[in-house]
Amino acid sequence: MTRKVMPRLGQPAGWRERHKQDLDNITLPDGAAFYVTPGHGYLKVDFTKLPASVSQHDYLDDQNHALLGEDCSMIMWMAEQGLIPMTDSILNMIRTIPRTSAYGLLHPGQVVIEAGIVVGIDGKLYNNTERIIAGRPHERRIRDNGN
């Protein structure tokens, strides 16, 4: 049985007290920035510019940004982007932590496979080099209020 992955909407606790922080020896691409709150760190990714796969522990804070938690999703994202080495433990996280495309969640009626490493229905890992979008682009987004 497949479980639907749904990140949390809004911002995490302490988001108002956040501050931007550089990462040691890592230059993030345009569209990504690291923020620290009193309790946790988050990578804010503009998913109109960059791929972003989210888990149930991440956040969608507006129409264009995902907040990836520093302990798992951020690490997987950075490895998929080639910013840190892809280790066996990161591959295991990719294989075992369900994620879905942040872009796809806001565009119902479309099937979106994010760029990065994806787990196929056969259980094997595949390196998807670009975002794949199929389906009707005119469906209302999940956060539209119906107007």
- Which residue is it, tokens 């539209």? 144
pLDDT in tens, 36-61: 998 899 999 999 999 999 999 999 98
**Coil, helix or strand for 100?**
strand
pLDDT in tens, 67-109: 999 999 999 999 999 999 999 999 999 989 999 888 888 877 7
pLDDT for the residue 1: 42
pLDDT for the residue 130: 85
pLDDT for the residue 42: 95
Mean pLDDT of the chain: 85
- Which residue is it, tokens 């510019």? 49
Strand partners, 9: 60
pTM for the model stands at 0.81
Is the pLDDT assigned to residue 147 strictly greater than 50? Answer: no
Token pair, residue 5, equals 């992955």
Strand partners, 19: 36
pLDDT for the residue 138: 52
Q: Within a 10 A sphere around the Cβ of 138, how many other Cβ atoms?
A: 8
Q: How many residues does the chain have?
A: 147
